[in-house]
Amino acid sequence: MSTSAHDPRGSASDSLITQINIDNVMQACRIFDEQVTSMQRAIQNSALLRNIPACGKDIVSADAQALFQSKIDRILAVHQDHLEEVREARDRLKKAALQYGFTEDQVETSLRAGTPGFRGPLAES
């Protein structure tokens, strides 16, 4: 069964959603939800990198700090963008679960239940 959540959006989750069906949507949603939580935690833990101080008060240290800070900022931005892609996929999976007939309570209960871990690729429909 295809749902409107399966409609292409031109996003990274388009290829994922083609593998989703009523039998695996809750497991996939739970895995992506756990990944969102893990990524959010890692990004929050990197807060100290958002403003690294110069090693000294000399010109070289100031130049090095500016160079390294811009690289760190770009790396953090890539991770933030990836988090948004994973979050979008998770939300899309939630929508698919609801359209498959699962209730909001069932979806939320499934997310709170956690999963023992990834056990291989998602089943294909």
Please write the tens of the pLDDT for every residue from 53-84. Answer: 888 989 999 899 999 999 999 999 999 999 99
Mean predicted confidence (pLDDT) in 41-45:
93
Q: What is the pTM of this model?
A: 0.77
Cβ atoms of residues 108 and 102 within 8 Å: no
Please write the tens of the pLDDT for every residue from 91-114. Answer: 999 999 999 999 999 999 988 876
38: CB partners within 8 A, 6+ apart: none
Cβ atoms of residues 83 and 33 within 8 Å: no
